[in-house]
């Protein structure tokens, strides 16, 4: 029995005070899900508030999004996401933080999620994230008192990409800057380029374009 994979999705549905809707970015769930599901892994979902998380980037012209959305088992799972208190970290080989702008408001300061992630990691598991998902990594601390990202190559939505979508002054912090503050060796490519980095069981991708590659990198790491 392969150990399960835990996907973390945001419960936050508004971009600051703009009134614009946000949530988890569908493609950043569906594309890694497709890769991991096909590789035979079972996936569970958790969100800060549990229940049905808000969705963004809702594009069913993307065949992978459509496949995920119409998969009754997984649509039911994500619509009934667990709360952090319902998660047993011992059941999971990997925790993956999906992006979407909502993650910037409710991932970083969620101590329960950070605790789950540090337990999975200290247990020899993988911590992964894509786009704004690595907001969940900024406050994860290990048993040695160090930040998880300290000294590791990390990748996430860049300052340039945040500027390009005109949300630099809307998000509560800039993800690239915060990861660097925590000691991450931040890597990046140009706007909307697929860029994934793996360093000591931490796997991170830059943007929605990197979502599938993060899934592939998780499978590769799990096979080691």
Tell me the catalytic residues: 131-132, 162
Parallel/antiparallel/unpaired status of strands 196-199 and 202-205: antiparallel
CA distance 195 to 209: 8
Number of other residues whose CB lies within 10 A of the CB of residue 67: 15
Q: In this structure, are residues 56 and 24 in contact, taking their beta carbons and an 8 Å threshold?
A: yes
**C-alpha atoms less than 13 angstroms from C-alpha of 118 in its C-beta half-sphere:** 18
Q: In this structure, are residues 95 and 3 in contact, taking their beta carbons and an 8 Å threshold?
A: no
CA distance 214 to 201: 12
Please give the structure tokens belonging to residue 91: 């059941």
CA distance 177 to 69: 34
**C-alpha atoms less than 13 angstroms from C-alpha of 197 in its C-beta half-sphere:** 19
H or E element, residue 109: none
């Amino acid at each position: 029995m392969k150990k399960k994979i835990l996907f973390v999705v945001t419960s936050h549905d508004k971009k600051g005070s703009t009134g614009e809707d946000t949530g988890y970015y569908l493609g950043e769930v569906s594309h890694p899900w497709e890769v991991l599901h096909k590789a035979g892994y079972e996936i569970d979902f958790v969100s800060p508030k549990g229940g049905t998380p808000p969705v963004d980037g809702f594009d069913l012209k993307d065949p992978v999004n459509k496949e995920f959305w119409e998969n009754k088992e997984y649509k039911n799972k994500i619509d009934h996401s667990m709360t952090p208190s319902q998660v047993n970290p011992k059941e999971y080989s990997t925790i993956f933080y999906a992006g979407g702008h909502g993650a910037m408001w409710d991932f970083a300061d969620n101590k329960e999620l950070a605790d789950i992630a540090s337990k999975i990691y200290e247990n020899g598991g993988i911590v992964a994230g894509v786009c704004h998902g690595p907001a969940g990594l900024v406050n994860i601390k290990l048993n040695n008192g160090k930040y998880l990202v300290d000294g590791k190559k990390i990748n996430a939505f860049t300052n340039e990409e945040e500027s390009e979508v005109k949300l630099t002054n809307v998000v509560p912090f800039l993800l690239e800057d915060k990861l660097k503050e925590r000691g991450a060796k931040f890597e990046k490519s140009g706007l909307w380029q697929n860029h994934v980095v793996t360093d000591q069981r931490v796997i991170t991708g830059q943007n929605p374009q990197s979502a599938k590659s993060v899934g592939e990198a998780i499978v590769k790491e799990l096979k080691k």
